[in-house]
Amino acid sequence: MTPDHEVRFRSVLDDVAAYKPGKPPERTDGRPTYKLSSNENPYPPLPGVLAAATDAAANMNRYPDMGALDLLEALSERFGVPVSDLALGTGSVAVLYHLLQAACGEGDEVVYAWRSFEAYPIAVQLTGATSVRVPLTDDARHDFKAMEAALTDRTRVVLVCTPNNPTGPVVRRDELLAFLDVVPRNVLVVLDEAYREFIREPETIDGVEVYRDRPNVVVLRTFSKAYGLAGFRIGYAIGHPPVIAAIRKCALPFGVSEVAQAAAVASLRAEKELLERVEALVVERTRVVDELRASGWKVPETHANFVWMPLGEETVAFSEALQAEGVSVRPFPGEGARVTIGEREANDLFLTIACAWRQ
Ligand code: PMP
């Protein structure tokens, strides 16, 4: 008989194995390749950010400042929230892991829309809790009526990804507030706003506004996308002190390096310039979506730095065709492909191939 611990390894690893990081593009003819598979920012860190990180690197023989005071104070000032409402992690995905570890375990349920961020089922399963996945609507949006119906007395956490990865739509103000009104106060609602800075929909609401008078709401943000620091691995939660204290208790000691803290502080200081880059990516996003629609693609609205290509059974063939031309995207076989908005040349190459596909 298989020992219990191996049975558990196997069930956890089944899901972990389903997470395939984007393939780097390969090409042998010397022409440029583009990675549009991981929703990264195509711009490298600003020189001032690199300089701050390099200065901090001189102390890498020491453990980092676990209190991360400079960064917490910078975030506190940026968002007008107390330091006691902020927790950091090695990317916002780590913050999510810590939060779920603190909030749930065997017998508990975590409700979220599906398809959504691939880390959710893995993070939930690692706690021993059960995922309750609620299908998106036909236009790739959250179905809050169905999510409400999915709540049970075992529900501990609801995850709301807005804009939704990998489909792109953003949750609107009225639907979110109406949903929060029906969620019991002992259920934690996580607003995953990894792509917040890319939203251009006026009918939405900032999670920082939402959490203030709702102790069961916690917001996750990251420096990986708009701020272009994915490789530094730094994200944060904004929530009420009991939630924040729980995340901090579960956090890995010294999880956020001094280099990452310094880069994040410098990025907050250079926010104006970084948000101009975000605006340039939003302009590119509009161009990509418009051209795709003009050539017959039914792409859903997107408020993130990626676009969802509903391809069904053609997904793998389409992704392989792009890969062969040096563009890697993220396929979800049988469903569609998620394509990051990159630099102009990358988007051009992608559009040429995608528009020809529809001919
Ligand atoms: N949430 C969502 C919805 C994401 O798409 C991502 C990154 N792909 C993350 C969280 C995690 O980002 P990071 O760990 O780099 O902060």
If we measure between CA atoms, which residue out of 142, 137, 148, 108 comes closest to residue 125? Answer: 108
Pocket residue to mutate for ligand 1, from 19, 92, 95, 115, most atoms within 8 A of Cβ: 92
Residue 56 beta carbon below 6 angstroms from any ligand 1 atom: no
ipTM: 0.99
Each residue of 132-167: b (16+ CB within 10 Å) or e? bbbebeeebbbbbeebbebbeeebbbbbbbbbbbbb
Query: How does pLDDT run along the chain (359 residues), one tens digit per residue?
Result: 677 777 766 666 666 656 666 677 777 788 889 999 999 999 999 999 999 999 999 999 999 988 999 999 999 999 999 999 999 999 999 999 999 999 999 999 999 999 999 999 999 999 999 999 999 999 999 999 999 999 999 999 999 999 999 999 999 999 999 999 999 999 999 999 999 999 999 999 999 999 999 999 999 999 999 999 999 999 999 999 999 999 999 999 999 999 999 999 999 999 999 999 999 999 999 999 999 999 999 999 999 999 999 999 999 999 999 999 999 999 999 999 999 999 999 999 999 999 999 87
Q: Which atom of ligand 1 approaches the CA of 230 most closely?
A: 15
Residue 151 near residue 111, CB atoms below 8 Å:
yes
> Which residues contact residue 290 at a Cβ distance below 8 angstroms, ignoring those fewer than 6 apart?
none
Read off the tokens for 201. Answer: 């929909």
Dmax (CA) of the chain: 61
DSSP-derived secondary structure letter, 164: P
Bond before 241 cis per omega within 30 degrees:
no
Q: How far apart are CA 169 and CA 189, in angstroms?
A: 19
For tokens 């050539």, the residue is 295
Single pTM value for the model: 0.96
